[in-house]
Amino acid sequence: MSLGALSDAGARELLDPASPVRHHYEELADNLLGVEETGIVVVTSPDSGAGRTSICLGLGAAVAGMGRRAAIVDCNLENSQLHRMLGEPNFVGLTSALGDSKTLEHHGYEVVPGLLVVPTGPILSDPASILENEGILKAVRYLRKSRDLVLLDAPVAGGVLRSPNLLGGFDGVLLVVHASRTPKDAAREAADALLAAGVNLLGVVLNGCS
Amino acid sequence: MTSSSGRGWRNEARDDPSLSEILYVLKSRRLLVVGVGLTLAGIALLFGLLREPVYVAEARVSVVPQGKLEGEEARLAFLEEVRGNVVTQKMLGEVRRRAGWEDGPQAFSERLDPETFAGRNGSSGLRVRFSGEEPGQAARAANAYAEVFVTGVDDLGDRLLADGVPVAEASVEQRAVPGGYSPRPLIYAVVAAGAGLLLGGAAAFVLEGRASGWRDVRDAELTLRVPVLGTIPDYSLKRFEG
């Protein structure tokens, strides 16, 4: 897949190594990879519109650009954005891997060298029950074996708090807040709730700074 | 600028804001805090300057009981009883006459501040303060009160008061002298400035709690008490920066 084929200019910007925002993502990648045991990271936000999918794409591309292997798995089953942002169909993906014996590698595609993207795939049943499928844990952990960093583009914090798999099944949570769209009290409540649930809250990304 | 940590974030109680959080909020909204403080100080200063100047004079009357009274409380109770027996409307009328007061009894009483005292060294008596528009007037009124009070105590003679103790002696221990200017405008301004800073600080915290925008990394870290691993600029703007 070439960058020029991308329909969304924002996604092109995030994946382009020459993009002016790339070094911000590289700094984020450095800091995140510097945290111990951060192989599989759940990326969430206090509410919608904070830019979780953009952060996942930019961060994944930065990690790939640093010569490491990254993957993004779209776990936002109720409002999947990743394939839309990339202008790709959603015929196969995470849910496909749960239904057959193939790996997530098989159901994803590389958008830039070293960055695998796995969309949600078709959602035929209750998204919440899909997220609680133990197969997700196995599939993502298996994917981790071939990737330095796996980013799970997760639902908002409320959805993560309702999902035992996302809460405790992986290495930690990265909270995305938007500088102008995320209310402070909502962010504070989300951080408090995640910490109270025993989540390993790795840190915060402040998105959309002026 | 971002901060990084080597480990995941550890849970931390956030019941009370930390000192650094308080200082950060005050610093980031310093214009509001200082503005409220200065505005209130200015209003108070103006109010004080527009009001008439106040001069305070003080006289002291020594009152010694004939018998021995144990403890400050007993001596203060004795002094209050003496005062209750001596200070009457008639006595106050005499004080006003001697002081040359013309504005009426209510205004006189508002400016008069008599207070009993009982020191640990055995001294006891009455401290009379008067706030006047002129230094001489204040001193005259305080001295007139002290003198008439002494006369009133003398007139009590050997009447038994608290605990059956008669008054032995009363004298003007210290006469009031003109000149004590009370710089009320400055005091008002300082008090108002202090109150304004507190009010401005409280307003800063209220606004901070309701704010939806995030200023910077420090703001996010202090609000969430979680390390900020990265800041991403709005690339829709960045695209046009060239």
Q: What does the pLDDT look like over A139-198, one tens digit per residue?
A: 999 999 999 999 999 999 999 999 999 988 899 999 999 998 898 888 989 999 999 999
Are the C-beta atoms of B57 and B125 separated by less than 8 Å? no
Nearest-Cα distance to chain B for A101, in Å, is 34
Tell me which chain B residue has its CA closest to the CA of residue A174: B229
Q: Could you give the CA distance from residue A32 to residue A150 in angstroms, rounded to a whole number? A: 12
Alpha helices in chain A (DSSP H): 9-15, 22-34, 52-65, 82-86, 94-99, 104-107, 127-131, 134-144, 157-161, 164-168, 184-196
Please check the confidence at residue A5 and state whether its pLDDT lies above 70: no
Are the C-beta atoms of B61 and B171 separated by less than 8 Å? yes
Q: What is the pLDDT of residues A113-142, one digit of tens each?
A: 999 999 999 887 788 888 888 889 999 999
Non-local (6+) Cβ contacts of A14 within 8 A are: A21, A25, A54, A57, A58, A61, B235
pLDDT band at A6 (very low <50, low <70, confident <90, very high): low
Question: What angle, rounded to 10 degrees, do the helices at B19-28 and B217-224 form?
Answer: 140
CB contact under 8 A, B211 and A201: no
How large a percentage of chain A has pLDDT more than 90? 62
Q: What is the pLDDT of residues A56-82, one digit of tens each?
A: 999 999 999 999 999 999 999 988 889
Which of B11, B220, B229 lies closest to A195 in CB terms?
Answer: B11
- Largest Cα separation within chain B, whole Å, is 102
With CA atoms as reference, report the closest residue to B229 among A189, A177, A98, A171: A177
CB contact under 8 A, B233 and A24: yes
CB contact under 8 A, B239 and A172: no
Alpha helices in chain B (DSSP H): 19-28, 30-50, 71-86, 89-99, 105-111, 135-156, 184-210, 217-224, 235-238
Nearest-Cα distance to chain A for B9, in Å, is 5
Residue B232 forms contact with A (CB below 8 Å)? yes
In the structure encoding, which two tokens stand for residue B82, read together? 């003496």
Nearest-Cα distance to chain A for B32, in Å, is 20
- What pLDDT shows up at residue B158? 65
Are the C-beta atoms of B142 and B55 separated by less than 8 Å? no
ipTM > 0.95?
no
CB contact under 8 A, A204 and B229: yes
Nearest-Cα distance to chain A for B19, in Å, is 18
Non-local (6+) Cβ contacts of A141 within 8 A are: A40
CB contact under 8 A, A210 and B234: yes
Residue B70 forms contact with A (CB below 8 Å)? no
- What pLDDT shows up at residue B72? 80
Q: Could you give the CA distance from residue A44 to residue A158 in angstroms, rounded to a whole number? A: 9
CB contact under 8 A, A180 and B212: yes
Low-confidence ranges of chain B (pLDDT < 50): 1-11, 13, 237-242
With CA atoms as reference, report the closest residue to B231 among B241, B216, B221: B216
